[in-house]
Amino acid sequence: MEGSAVSDSQDGQIASPRRAPSQQRSRERVERMLAAASALIAEQGSDAMRMGEVAERAGVSIGSLYQFFPDKRAIIWALAERYTAESQACIAAALAEVNDAEGLRQAFSELVDIYYRLFLAEPVMRDIWSGTQADKALRELELADSRANAEFLTAVLKRLRPSADPEALETTAFLIWQMGEAAMRLAISVDRQEGDRLVAAYKRMALRELLGA
Amino acid sequence: MEGSAVSDSQDGQIASPRRAPSQQRSRERVERMLAAASALIAEQGSDAMRMGEVAERAGVSIGSLYQFFPDKRAIIWALAERYTAESQACIAAALAEVNDAEGLRQAFSELVDIYYRLFLAEPVMRDIWSGTQADKALRELELADSRANAEFLTAVLKRLRPSADPEALETTAFLIWQMGEAAMRLAISVDRQEGDRLVAAYKRMALRELLGA
DNA sequence: TGGCAAATGTGAGGATTACTCACATTTGCA
DNA sequence: TGCAAATGTGAGTAATCCTCACATTTGCCA
């Protein structure tokens, strides 16, 4: 029982694949399952997504689905993980080279715009991040992701303001990041015009905090 | 069929009592149902709350429960509505008399503290606001509540800065309010010390925005 | 190449739970 | 007192997640 590759989701813990697909065939099938889940979430939201429907659309049996995903949340979690990994790389790249205030202003402004467009365009991401508050495992993932992203920001701030209290900078960066996600969620849930204004206001506030020591 | 007091919850719409309790007896029973639900949510969270358990603990049958609440969400919604009504009155009172910058600073600071303590102390409120993102009806309620609260803040800002663009003030107030709720949710999901720092940082940022024109 | 263990595939059925409904009881009122 | 409306009941229905005993396929080695 030890040494098994199995890792079930329990309580609020992370739900990784029940069994890692080792053969080419199963890897392809798992991809089909994820694609089906993604499509269904885009159409109706993750809450309305039925496991039977995912299996049917992926052209596999319900048993196969559960061979690789211990439960429904695990599928959503797997999709969320992909998004976070992608966006984290993007964020790291955008902030890595920033060395002055003007650079930070530009990079941050661009990041906010990218995120906003992503939220507007990606129903799956939107849905998953919405459910983030209710699901413990997803919330952990989002918090971890947010901390990681905030760290890139902290690194920039430490470069720009070496004399400031590092802990305070960390708190500020983390808060700004989380508030950004809150602002985005808010922005996409009101009409487009108000959403744009809200994002612009957030950007202004965040930059004031980041730049105006 | 017209003129009935029935108002079922549909899709993402508001779920009000299926039938308004008109007799003393039923009013007391509805109170017991709400109390039972509240206790169960405090113990295990609204997701784990079972309708059968609510009925049992309230000492009524499952049928009686559904006589007054069209579905599970309606009970949660009813509890949420009480909280929002209470806190809105409190906020309105705190902001009504504010007429200068120093008054705003004090009133806002106090409000943030009150809210933070409330979030820390009230597991039910915490749980309900967490689920707010996933449930359409709850989200509507929270948005409406947030807009109402933001309006009190907007009124103050208009008094303090009569020459500013009113629409911009509204956007700012709404955003600050929503970010506050995000900051609170974040603060209670990390350890207490970091939570305190996050709330303090939020307060500082919000006040800078509110006061420093 | 044959054979075998491990990996993968299957879907009927178990278990849980929100919710319904046909019928019983209680209440307010003329 | 009688009766209609309000209220109360809980076994039963439906929907859905997930399991499990068994079938099939694959990789691998003698």
pLDDT digit string, tens, across residues B18-29:
778 888 888 999
Instruction: Over range A180-200, report the average pLDDT.
Output: 95
Q: What is the pLDDT of residues A6-61, one digit of tens each?
A: 334 444 454 445 778 888 888 999 999 999 999 999 999 999 999 999 999 999 99
According to the model, what pLDDT value does residue A134 have?
77
The residues near B143 (Cβ < 8 Å, ≥ 6 apart) are: A189, A190
Q: Report the C-alpha gap between A20 and A128 in whole angstroms.
A: 23
Write the single-letter amino acid at A43: E
Q: Is the pLDDT of residue A1 over 60?
A: no
- Average pLDDT, integer, range B117-135: 87
Q: How far is the CA of A52 from the C1' of C13 (A)?
A: 15
Label residue A74 by pLDDT band (50, 70, 90). very high
Q: What is the dihedral of CA A54, A58, A59, A60, to 10 degrees?
A: -70
Q: Tell me the average pLDDT of chain A.
A: 90
Instruction: Quote the pTM value.
Output: 0.89
B27–chain A nearest CA distance, Å = 31
Q: Is the pLDDT of residue B15 over 60?
A: no
* pLDDT score recorded for residue A193: 97
Residue A145 has pLDDT above 80, yes or no: yes
Q: Percentage of chain A with pLDDT > 70? A: 92
| Residue B213: DSSP 8-state | -
pLDDT score recorded for residue B14 = 45
Quote the mean pLDDT of chain B.
Answer: 90
Residues 6+ apart with CB under 8 A from B212: none
What are the backbone dihedrals phi and psi of residue A96, each rounded to the nearest 5 degrees, phi first?
Answer: -60, -40
Among A102-106, B129-133, B179-183, the range scoring the smallest mean pLDDT is B129-133
- Strand C nucleotides within 7 Å of a protein CB: 7-13, 17-22, 26-28
Distance of alpha carbon B6 from alpha carbon A12, whole angstroms: 38
Chain A residues with CB under 8 Å of a chain B CB are 47, 130-134, 139, 143, 167-168, 171-172, 174-175, 178-179, 181-183, 185-186, 189-190, 194, 197-198, 201-202, 205, 208-209
pLDDT digits (tens, 9 = 90+) for B150-181: 999 999 999 999 999 999 999 999 999 999 99
Work out the angle between the directed axes of helices B24-44 and B51-58 (0-180°, nearest 10): 130
Q: Is the pLDDT higher at A3 or at B151?
A: B151
- Residues of chain B in contact with residue A205, where contact means CB-CB under 8 angstroms, are 175, 205, 209
- Cβ–Cβ under 8 Å, residues A71 and A9: yes
Residue matched to tokens 């319900």: A62
- What letters, b where the CB count within 10 A reaches 16 and e where it falls short, cover A96-114? eebeeeeebeebbeebbee
Phi, psi of B38 (to 5 degrees): -60, -45
Left if phi > 0, otherwise alpha if psi is -120 to 50, otherwise beta: which for A50? beta
Rounded to an integer, what distance in angstroms lies between the CA atom of residue A209 and that of residue B60? 54
Q: Quick one: average pLDDT of A146-150?
A: 96
| Average pLDDT value for residue range B42-50 | 95
Q: Which of residues 20-59 of B touch strand C (CB under 7 A)?
A: 23-25, 49-52
Cβ within 8 Å, pair B202-A175: yes
